[in-house]
């Protein structure tokens, strides 16, 4: 045996021996009742800012929930519960919301939580660039009635407001820290944990230690929470399988390997995906003004096939833009548009487009590359000739909302609150041409004025109208997938891609 071989073997053995003594990063919950309980989570993304004004829904939630309380709290099924706001009431027109607040909460910098803090925070979020400013867009003003009472005046009824105050719109930071201006990197809240700067490396590992003065400790059984941004699927799965993290988000192609490794897979309804038929007035492509043409598009795409082959079956076939967990959902509507190219061609012929028409669409391979072929083939088979314009991902938003593309692919979140699901596609920027419809406007106005118990039927009526009129071509509601090991029990949060921090508990 050559000297090189012996040397190399000795080197390898030494390396393995050394790493046997190496400190390992990450951890699992400690055993024993008195041992410190540590929860380590692998996150999809890094957290760029702890300022609630910059925050969005979805992935940032766990970072924010670690250090901040929210005004309301959302149960796993989306039911709104008290939190910093102990109770609330609306006036008769549902345009003034009065919040009664806790009087026993202090921020980690010693500032007391009062209605002034609520006013300062809501105004901070409204002035920011985060998604919270969209969620709270109906707020006209916030007034301080007393230390424990705040009044929010709205421009119009907003049935999703209390839900939003439990997420990106309602994280409450110390008003002193808001004024200081360094919340982005130095969060100061009243939440269950405190950011341990000494054990935190931005972009790599965030350590949160228990807030000894927290008012609701029972809700958070862990003494320490560590969140590690693991940006690739391979890193997340390997970290989970090797025990470096206790739980992490997954995608469909990770499930088989995860289950084979004895990991737990939990799912909940996530985004709806499909085509937005924005040009319902036919401004760019006249054909789209005809409901038969829009219905033909719905019949032309093999949505079930896309769900099975590209999303590996993790989702539910849907023709609706609402969540299965919400009151607008009607399972029968999913039968409205089975894959039927013959029917699509017949509808196009009835509408006077037997020879089809050209349809400009925008493409970014990072965003819709995996479904591009299905769209082009499905529409092409019925005579609709897609003309793609390819742009980089960084320009996709500007192009998509430029008004040049009457139909575009998009993914939108679904939540237990149908009103929230309507905002972007109906009232917001996804309604590119500002199309108004008397029936939709009337129903939304009725919903805004109705009591919660009455809205279910109204939402379903609106849903049926949107499906019949083919305002959209939804294909499915994709599953949010979450993976965990046997040391932790996790409950998914409806309408949120990852569980809320209070949805984790040590396994029995």
Partner 1 sequence: MVRFLLTRFGGAVVLAFIVSTGTFFLLSTAGADPAAALLGIDATSAQIAVKRAELGLDAPLPSRYLNWLGGALTGNLGTSWSTNQQVSSLIATRLPVTLSLAVGAILLSSVLGITLGYISAIKRGWLDRTLQFVVVIGYGLPGFWVALVLSTVFAVQLGWFPATGYTPFTQSPTGWAGTVILPIVALTLGVAASIAQQTRDSVLDVLRQGYVRTLRSRGLPHWRVLVLHVLRNAAAAPLGVISLQFIGLLGGAIMVENVFALPGLGTFAVSSSISSDVPAILGIVVVGAVTVVIVNLILDSVMAWLNPKVRTR
Chain residues binding partner 1 by CB under 8 A are 4, 15-16, 18-26, 46, 48-49, 56, 127-131, 133-134, 184-185, 201-205, 228-232, 234-235, 238-239, 241-242, 244, 367, 392-398, 400, 410, 424, 428-429
* CB nearer to partner 1: pick between 16 and 438: 16
With vertex at residue 78, the alpha carbon angle to CA 73 and CA 80, rounded to the nearest 5 degrees, is 40
Q: How many angstroms from the chain centroid is the CA of residue 387? A: 31
Listed in order, strand segments (DSSP E) in 26-103 are 38-43, 69-70, 72-74, 80-82, 85-90, 96-101
* CB nearer to partner 1: pick between 87 and 232: 232
How many Å apart are CA 30 and CA 197, to the nearest integer? Answer: 22
3-state secondary structure of 208: strand
Distances (CA, A) of 241 to 29, 227, 261, 321, 504: 15, 16, 7, 35, 18
Distance in angstroms between the alpha carbons of the first and the last residue of the chain = 54
* Nearest approach, Cβ of residue 311 and partner 1 (Å): 20
Residue 26 neighbours by CB under 8 Å, 6+ apart: 40, 226, 228, 239, 243, 244, 245
* CB nearer to partner 1: pick between 9 and 398: 398
* CB nearer to partner 1: pick between 273 and 455: 273
* CB nearer to partner 1: pick between 48 and 282: 48
* CB nearer to partner 1: pick between 131 and 500: 131
Structure letter (DSSP) for residue 331: G
How many Å apart are CA 433 and CA 411, to the nearest integer? Answer: 19
Distances (CA, A) of 410 to 313, 338, 415, 501: 19, 20, 16, 28
Contact 28, 38 (CB under 8 A): yes
Contact 74, 177 (CB under 8 A): no
Closest alpha carbon to 255 in 272, 271, 275, 237:
237
* Nearest approach, Cβ of residue 440 and partner 1 (Å): 21
* CB nearer to partner 1: pick between 244 and 455: 244
* CB nearer to partner 1: pick between 35 and 393: 393
Contact 216, 192 (CB under 8 A): yes
* Nearest approach, Cβ of residue 408 and partner 1 (Å): 10
According to DSSP, the residues that pair with 410 across neighbouring strands are 274
* Nearest approach, Cβ of residue 401 and partner 1 (Å): 8
* Nearest approach, Cβ of residue 25 and partner 1 (Å): 4
Residue 180 φ then ψ, to 5°? -65, -30
Closest alpha carbon to 472 in 281, 254, 280:
280
Q: What are the residue ranges of helices labelled H in 340-494? A: 341-350, 365-368, 372-381, 393-400, 418-422, 438-449, 452-468
Beta-carbon count within 10 A of 365 CB: 12
Closest alpha carbon to 78 in 488, 507, 452:
452
* Nearest approach, Cβ of residue 369 and partner 1 (Å): 15
How many Å apart are CA 446 and CA 265, to the nearest integer? Answer: 40
Q: How many angstroms from the chain centroid is the CA of residue 51? A: 18
How many Å apart are CA 70 and CA 33, to the nearest integer? Answer: 30
* CB nearer to partner 1: pick between 248 and 503: 248
* CB nearer to partner 1: pick between 39 and 347: 39
* CB nearer to partner 1: pick between 23 and 438: 23
3-state secondary structure of 407: strand
* CB nearer to partner 1: pick between 105 and 254: 254
* Nearest approach, Cβ of residue 422 and partner 1 (Å): 15
Structure letter (DSSP) for residue 232: S
* CB nearer to partner 1: pick between 56 and 378: 56
């Amino acid at each position: 045996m050559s000297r090189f071989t012996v040397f190399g073997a000795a080197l390898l053995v030494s390396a393995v021996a050394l790493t046997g003594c190496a400190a390992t990063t990450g951890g699992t919950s400690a055993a024993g009742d008195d041992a410190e309980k540590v929860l380590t989570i692998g996150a999809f993304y890094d957290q760029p800012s702890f300022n609630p004004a910059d925050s969005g829904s979805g992935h940032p939630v766990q970072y924010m929930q670690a250090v901040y309380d929210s005004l309301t709290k959302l149960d796993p099924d989306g039911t709104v519960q008290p939190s910093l706001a102990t109770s609330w009431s609306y006036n008769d027109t549902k345009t003034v919301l009065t919040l009664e607040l806790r009087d026993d909460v202090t921020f980690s910098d010693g500032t007391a939580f009062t209605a002034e803090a609520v006013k300062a925070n809501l105004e901070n979020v409204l002035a920011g660039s985060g998604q919270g400013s969209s969620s709270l867009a109906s707020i006209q003003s916030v007034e301080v009635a007393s230390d424990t009472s705040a009044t929010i005046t709205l421009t119009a009824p907003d049935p999703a407001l209390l839900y939003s105050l439990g997420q990106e719109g309602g994280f409450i930071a110390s008003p002193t820290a808001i004024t200081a201006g360094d919340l982005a990197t130095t969060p100061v809240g009243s939440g269950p944990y405190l950011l341990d700067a000494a054990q935190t490396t931005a972009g790599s590992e965030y350590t949160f230690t228990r807030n000894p003065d927290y008012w609701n400790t029972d809700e958070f059984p862990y003494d320490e929470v560590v969140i590690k941004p693991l940006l690739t699927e391979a890193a997340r799965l390997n970290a989970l399988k090797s025990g470096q993290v206790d739980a992490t988000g997954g995608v469909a192609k990770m499930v088989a390997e995860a289950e084979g490794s004895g990991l737990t897979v939990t799912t909940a309804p996530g985004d709806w995906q499909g085509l937005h038929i924005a040009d319902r007035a036919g401004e760019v492509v006249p054909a789209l003004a005809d409901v038969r043409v829009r219905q033909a598009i719905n019949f032309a795409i093999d949505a079930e096939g896309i769900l099975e082959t590209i999303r590996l079956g993790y989702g539910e076939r849907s023709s609706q833009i609402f969540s299965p967990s919400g009151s607008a959902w009607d399972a029968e509507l999913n039968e409205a548009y089975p894959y039927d190219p013959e029917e699509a061609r017949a509808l196009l012929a009835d509408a006077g487009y037997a020879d089809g028409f050209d349809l400009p669409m925008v493409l970014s391979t990072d965003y819709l590359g995996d479904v591009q072929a299905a769209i082009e083939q499905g529409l092409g088979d019925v005579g609709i000739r897609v003309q793609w314009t390819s742009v980089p991902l960084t320009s996709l938003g500007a192009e998509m909302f430029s008004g040049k593309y009457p139909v575009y692919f998009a993914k939108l979140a679904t939540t237990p609150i149908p009103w929230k699901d309507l905002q972007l596609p109906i009232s917001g920027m996804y309604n590119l041409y500002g199309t108004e419809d008397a029936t939709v406007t009337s129903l939304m106005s009725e919903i805004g004025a109705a009591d919660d118990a009455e809205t279910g039927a109204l939402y379903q009526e609106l849903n049926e109208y949107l499906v019949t009129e083919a305002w959209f071509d939804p294909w499915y509601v994709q599953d949010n997938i979450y993976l965990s090991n046997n040391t932790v029990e996790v409950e998914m949060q409806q309408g949120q891609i990852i569980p809320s921090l209070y949805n984790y508990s040590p396994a029995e």
